[in-house]
Structure 1
């Protein structure tokens, strides 16, 4: 019995249906449970003996489950009849027509789900959470017009947060056009909820997208626009300074990069101890020393970058698999640039299994940088084989 099998009968064993299953209609619950287990659609199809197409239709809300199909999923997840019970609620969206939606339970429940899906996405990549994100976003945007007053605004704001993270997952999947589409939806829905800060943060996201397509001038321009946006707060300005610093470093402008690093430190200090920011990752994730290390790498100050990564990696890098992998590859690239190819390859050999699992476009871009740098060094046959394996993974 594998780890996923061993948890099948215990993951849903406390409380009533509402306490044991994540909130949402049948499709949302199915997608979220699948994401929790790290199962692909194909894997769930095999375990439940339900076709992949039917699973996709159920998760997207295009079809409602029969009791027989619900029972098959119930057995696969060890849900002890709860999915069968939930299947009767599969058509409740139609009942919203002409009625007023009570936002409180919906917002509270889906806020918890958003946090959970973000944790899953950071550790497993976009493939396991995107379906859930899109389905919940559809439910929220259907419900918002049927709420009133402040409750309507709360639903739109939550839909905006889901859209922003869906855009991030699209970028992680290597689809920048889709990432921009979802980011623009997040801006629109944030405005429906009375929050203009998303419009400022969206410029940060556009800077990051431009950075990863190699357009450093656009990245810096978007970062500067974000910092100067009327709705920008200290958190957004810190994010903008981070993007500006990395953009200037990529262009080889050490002076402008240093100025941006100082702005990042100043804005980050203003939000220390504050409530978690509404948009984007926590500012303390990968603090200013790791940002400096990343900039030194882009500036080709390899020894300095390697020293900073070595000093900060254990204490400053967030614990999720995606961040750990990306910063490990940056450290390896710095070591390769500093002619420490043996140490670099040791890090890459340890990190490759994680990179294969999370399937992140941004992590693959980091791996491409390592390959390019490593190939400038004299490698023994074992190192050359590892570099070639890395190159194959980096190209997807």
Structure 2
């Protein structure tokens, strides 16, 4: 058995030509395979001729698959009997009265979380949210029946699922739901003995406030995050980034510069820290892109456009991260439009439009709306006007 499969607690079933299925029980495997294909629960239900409710119950472990349903799912996913075999093995989660062994649960679902994050970055929230909520339900049902450190591990993993579910809710344009899931992440993190999630949650809330245009609240929350007793250098760097961008939105160049300097200091302090953390690693971000975003908000269009261009040339965005790729491309286009280089701006937007339609992200649509506002202040030809109008329609969802 592959060591990775052993860690997950189950030997994977075989599909066509000996193809390995992902590790986990029927529900975990089903959620993973569906998400890999980029199918929503509705789309998968249509293909398998199984109701959406049944699929959610299967993925969350609330229901065992009947032979007929397992065969229908197997056929829709093309696993060549692998799902039927897995269903026949009866690999279900523990009953409520049983003690849960955390190792297989944590190892299997940590992999699923990693995969769902990648899918969310490339396809958008609609393809992963149902799986995230279903798995979160499994974890929170299992945690009370684990003991000692194992219970803490499951609560912490549930907290991470909740934090990402909150991010997906924000991407879907539902800030209230994003806040609800962020608060659940704090509660479940505390159950697992980790107070740092409370500090990082303030950063997330600052971003939500910034996204709705409340820069004052965003700055206040970022400062609270930086001063939180459990804040790590990574969290303080994220907080400084949010503060810098909020100050820039308010037009305060001096406060923005001070926050950018704090970001650099905290980011340097965090280099080499491989402990488990909340939020993306700061070394994976780009100080140049953060500064360019601030310059754009300060309406310093020429330097912003130059910084965006230099960064994209030096370090192109990963093809799998369509969300970031689209977001920064539209910011570059907005800077170019502000610098009266509308032709270059429209070329970037035209290339990026298919990605924006595919991922259906509220944060990316907001960036597109800012491009439209800036582009409409410039003299445009017929083709450019048509693109700007199409962008406006897409930005409003």
Q: Closer, same or farther in 2 for the Cα pair 1:392/1:313, shift >3 Å? A: same
Q: Is the 8 A contact 2:59 2:135 kept in 1?
A: no
Gaps of 5+ in 2: 1-13
Q: Closer, same or farther in 2 for the Cα pair 1:199/1:184, shift >3 Å? A: same
> How far apart are 1:83 and its partner, in Å?
1.5
What residue in structure 2 maps to residue 235 of structure 1?
A: 234
Q: Aligned partners of 1:192, 1:140: CA distance in 2, in Å?
A: 13
What residue in structure 2 maps to residue 165 of structure 1?
A: 164
Q: Closer, same or farther in 2 for the Cα pair 1:276/1:352, shift >3 Å? A: farther
| 2:177 maps to 1:178 | yes
Q: Closer, same or farther in 2 for the Cα pair 1:174/1:90, shift >3 Å? A: farther
Alignment of 1:91-130 (within 5 A): 92-93=92-93, 95-130=94-129
Q: Is the 8 A contact 1:235 1:277 kept in 2?
A: no
Q: Closer, same or farther in 2 for the Cα pair 1:287/1:254, shift >3 Å? A: same
CA offsets, 1:119-176, max 9 Å, x none?
Answer: 1110001111111111111111111111111111111111111110111011011111
Q: Aligned partners of 1:150, 1:68: CA distance in 2, in Å?
A: 39
What residue in structure 2 maps to residue 85 of structure 1?
A: 85
What residue in structure 2 maps to residue 216 of structure 1?
A: 215
What residue in structure 1 maps to residue 9 of structure 2?
A: none
Q: Aligned partners of 1:61, 1:279: CA distance in 2, in Å?
A: 27
> How far apart are 1:12 and its partner, in Å?
4.7
Greater CA deviation, 277-286 or 190-199? 277-286
Q: Is the 8 A contact 2:222 2:240 kept in 1?
A: yes
Q: Closer, same or farther in 2 for the Cα pair 1:379/1:22, shift >3 Å? A: farther
What residue in structure 1 maps to residue 384 of structure 2?
A: 383
TM-score using structure 1 length: 0.92
What residue in structure 2 maps to residue 7 of structure 1?
A: none
> How far apart are 1:90 and its partner, in Å?
6.8
Alignment of 1:1-396 (within 5 A): 12-13=15-16, 20-24=21-25, 26-61=26-61, 63-88=63-88, 92-93=92-93, 95-275=94-274, 278-316=277-315, 318-319=317-318, 320-396=321-397
Q: Closer, same or farther in 2 for the Cα pair 1:66/1:163, shift >3 Å? A: same
Q: Aligned partners of 1:84, 1:187: CA distance in 2, in Å?
A: 38
Greater CA deviation, 377-386 or 39-48? 39-48
Q: Is the 8 A contact 2:60 2:138 kept in 1?
A: no
- Alignment RMSD: 1.9
Q: Is the 8 A contact 1:27 1:135 kept in 2?
A: no
Q: Closer, same or farther in 2 for the Cα pair 1:232/1:342, shift >3 Å? A: same
Greater CA deviation, 35-44 or 266-275? 35-44
> How far apart are 1:88 and its partner, in Å?
4.6
CA offsets, 1:334-356, max 9 Å, x none?
Answer: 00000000000000000000000
CA offsets, 1:200-222, max 9 Å, x none?
Answer: 00000000000001100000000
Q: Closer, same or farther in 2 for the Cα pair 1:317/1:252, shift >3 Å? A: farther
Q: Aligned partners of 2:276, 2:377: CA distance in 1, in Å?
A: 41
CA offsets, 1:206-249, max 9 Å, x none?
Answer: 00000001100000000000000000010000000000000000
Q: Aligned partners of 1:325, 1:276: CA distance in 2, in Å?
A: 30
Q: Is the 8 A contact 2:102 2:153 kept in 1?
A: yes
> How far apart are 1:32 and its partner, in Å?
2.1
SS at match of 1:96: coil
Q: Aligned partners of 1:107, 1:51: CA distance in 2, in Å?
A: 28
> How far apart are 1:317 and its partner, in Å?
5.5
Greater CA deviation, 277-286 or 134-143? 277-286
Q: Aligned partners of 2:144, 2:304: CA distance in 1, in Å?
A: 51
Q: Aligned partners of 1:42, 1:189: CA distance in 2, in Å?
A: 29
TM-score using structure 2 length: 0.91
Q: Is the 8 A contact 1:335 1:341 kept in 2?
A: yes
